[in-house]
A and B are shown apart, each in its own frame.
Chain A
Amino acid sequence: EAQVTQNPRYLITVTGKKLTVTCSQNMNHEYMSWYRQDPGLGLRQIYYSMNVEVTDKGDVPEGYKVSRKEKRNFPLILESPSPNQTSLYFCASTFSSGGSYEQYFGPGTRLTVT
């Protein structure tokens, strides 16, 4: 079964305490992305990765880091979280080739920074 997993699903933390949200996919997809979703703003892309060791900034990368050391994993790192990073975060995994396009999102991570 195609699956994107995220952990943790819920996290409450304090300003400045480094955290990592993990994302893993089992489909051998090359492309992976991180998004945040805020009311009235829709989904905004934070970072994306087109392959191992290849990452690029999305629309709202400030305050976030990512790494892609293995194809299946794409962790999101907040080195010094701030309250404006309180949001719902989604990881996505994408396959695109020759007219075929498939994409799966994880279940989301609800982060609260106090």
Chain B
Amino acid sequence: QKEVEQDPGPLSVPEGAIVSLNCTYSNSAFQYFMWYRQYSRKGPELLMYTYSSGNKEDGRFTAQVDKSSKYISLFIRDSQPSDSATYLCASHTGGFKTIFGAGTRLFVKA
């Protein structure tokens, strides 16, 4: 079992929809949780970062960590075609040995 599991999709939604992207993890020692967006042929871009449990909001993006269920979520409100990309979740314990999920491909149709 991988330490961070993520459904690869693809996920296809209409413009304006609320998108929910999810990961599960198995290592109870993980304290730092990140979401990245990666466009084709580009490097990943850090979108959201959460320490421990809770919610964090930044514009149309909300990251949620539930440590009791070991579940990480990213919500995108009012999705746009420009949000079409691969989204990667990742975690580490604070020592920077980082484990990534496989990434979910998202398509937002105009």
B-contacting residues of A (Cβ < 8 Å)? 4, 31, 33, 35, 40-45, 48, 50, 56, 58-59, 90, 92, 94, 96, 99, 101-108
Closest residue of A by beta carbon distance from B101: A42
Closest residue of B by beta carbon distance from A48: B96
Shortest Cβ distance from A19 into chain B, in angstroms?
A: 20
Decide if the interface of chain A is mainly helix, strand, loop or mixed.
strand
Q: When A and B form their complex, which 8 residue pairs have the shortest distance between CB atoms, in order from nearest?
A: A105-B43, A42-B102, A43-B100, A101-B49, A42-B100, A103-B46, A105-B44, A42-B103
* B6 in contact with A42 (CB, 8 Å): yes
Q: List 20 A-B contacts (CB under 8 A).
A: A31-B96, A35-B100, A41-B102, A42-B6, A42-B100, A42-B101, A42-B102, A43-B88, A45-B100, A48-B98, A58-B97, A58-B98, A90-B43, A96-B32, A96-B96, A101-B32, A101-B49, A103-B46, A105-B45, A108-B43
Interchain CA distance A102-B32 in the complex, whole Å: 12
Report if B8 contacts A (CB, 8 A): yes
The 8 A CB mask of B90-110 against A (1 = contact, 0 = none) is 100001111111110000000
Shortest Cβ distance from B80 into chain A, in angstroms?
A: 22
Report if B60 contacts A (CB, 8 A): no
Shortest Cβ distance from A99 into chain B, in angstroms?
A: 7
Shortest Cβ distance from A31 into chain B, in angstroms?
A: 6
Report if B51 contacts A (CB, 8 A): yes
Residues of B within 8 A of A94 (CB): 96
Residues of B within 8 A of A58 (CB): 97-98
The 8 A CB mask of B40-75 against A (1 = contact, 0 = none) is 011111100101000000000000000000000000
